[in-house]
Amino acid sequence: MTSLFSSPEDVRTRLAAGDYLSDGHIATTVFLADALGKPLLVEGPAGVGKTELAKAVAAATGAELVRLQCYEGLDEGRALYEWNYRKQLLRIQAAPEGQEWSDTHDDIFGEEFLLSRPLLTAIRRTEPTVLLIDETDKTDVEVEGLLLEVLSDFQVTIPELGTVTAARRPFVVLTSNATRELSEALKRRCLYLYLDYPTPEREREIVLAQVPEITEALAEQLVRTVATLRALDLKKSPSIAETLDWARTLLALEADALDEDAIARTLGVVLKHVSDQTRAAKELGLPTAESV
């Protein structure tokens, strides 16, 4: 199997070239998933860059991203493949008089009538592919069983067509918010990466990369303040996405420092729950929303 990356350092530089700032731990884990040909399960709170990591790997390697978005009620027909009944039926009705049923049958279970869904699509591709199975924890346990099957030997059996084996294994990333524990079996198949909120140093780099107009001093203040907010016991801690929104908002308001006033005016950008805002205002000694 050809590898996408030559070393952890290679992962790091190439992801950074696409403005995804990793660290040694992330880079090594991505490198290993590729080198060992194992799916990578990325878990962590919302907005820490799990989905983005898969996209960044695709972008850095010129691979195509095939995405399976999971949700409650997702089934095999949506995840793997489905027969296009409608088209098949029309084909049956249009069958020339006197055609043998077995011929018609062969016809309608051909390629033309197959609706390929992300898992099958990814397996059949011959070009480099990143398969992103996003928010795996939202699915039901049965789908997990299906994933386990597909990810174990990267092959799919379609009774009418035979077995399709991956010509080239996709780089697989599964993400989860850990709203439920994924099965031990699935976890055993995967390499595991826990993405937590970044250190202030790394977050500052992310801010500078994504919002290049911002000054270093403001970025520094911003990530320190966000870290302070995360230390409070909030309902929803601010994510990287919210830090970035905050940076953009401050730029738009032409604020050049993050003082109490600027924070009080823009707190809604980072904290979405009113109770969290109240809490933060109290803990940080901010002027209350009404007085602004």
Partner 1 sequence: MALLDRHVGFLDALRGAGLAVSLAEGLDAARALTVLDLVDREAMRAAYAATLVKRPTHRATFDTLFDLWFPAAVGDGAGGPPAERPDPPRPNLREPDPVADGMRARLFDLLLDGDEAGLRQLVRDAVATYGRSPASAPRQTWSAYAVGAALDPRTLMAGLLRAVLAGQDRGGLAERTARRTLEDRIAALQDMITAEVRRRLAEDTSAERVAKVAVRPPLEQLDILRATRKDLAELRRAVHPLARRLATRLAVKHKAGRRGRLDFRRTVRASLSTGGVPVRTFHRPRRPHKPELVVLCDVSDSVSSFAHFTLLLAYALREQFSKVRVFAFVDNLDEVTAHFAPGVDVGDAMRDLTSKADVVWVTGRTNYGRAFELFADRYPEVIGPKTALLILGDARSNYGPLALPALAKMADAARRAHWLNPEPHRDWDTGDSAASTYDRVVPMVECRNLAQLAAFIEDLA
* Binder of residue 225, out of ligand ATP, partner 1, Mg ion, none (CB less than 5 to 8 A by kind): partner 1
Q: Tell me the three state secondary structure of residue 173.
A: strand
3-class DSSP assignment, residue 34? helix
Tokens 């049958």, residue located: 105
- Among 210, 249, 266, 278, interactor with ligand ATP by CB under 6 A: 210
* 16 binds ligand ATP, rule: CB under 6 A: no
Strand ranges (E), the chain? 40-43, 64-69, 81-83, 114-116, 129-134, 155-158, 162-165, 171-176, 191-194
Tell me how far, at minimum, the Cβ of 84 lies from partner 1, in Å: 10
Establish if 20 lies at the interface with ligand ATP (CB under 6 A): yes
Residues 70, 134 contacting (CB under 8 angstroms): yes
One character per residue 259-278, x = contact with ligand ATP (rule: CB under 6 A): --------------------
Cα–Cα separations (whole angstroms), residue 197 to 8, 135, 236, 238: 21, 18, 13, 9
Q: Which is nearer to partner 1, 125 or 177 (CB)?
A: 177
Q: Could you say which of 3, 13, 51, 116 contacts Mg ion (CB under 5 A)?
A: 51
Expressed in angstroms, the distance from the first to the final Cα of the chain is 61
Rounded CA separation 67/51 (Å): 10
Q: Which of 68, 74, 218, 244 binds ligand ATP (CB under 6 A)?
A: 244
69 is a contact residue toward Mg ion (CB under 5 A): no
Q: Which of residues 87-116 bind ligand ATP (CB under 6 A)?
A: none
> Smallest distance, Å, CB 162 to partner 1?
26
- Enumerate binding residues for Mg ion (CB under 5 A): 51
Binding site for partner 1 (CB under 8 A): 7-8, 24-25, 28-29, 31-33, 35-36, 38, 41, 43, 73, 75, 85-86, 89-90, 93, 140, 177-181, 184, 187-188, 190-194, 196, 200-201, 221, 224-225, 227-228, 231, 233, 259-260, 263, 273-275, 278-279, 284-286
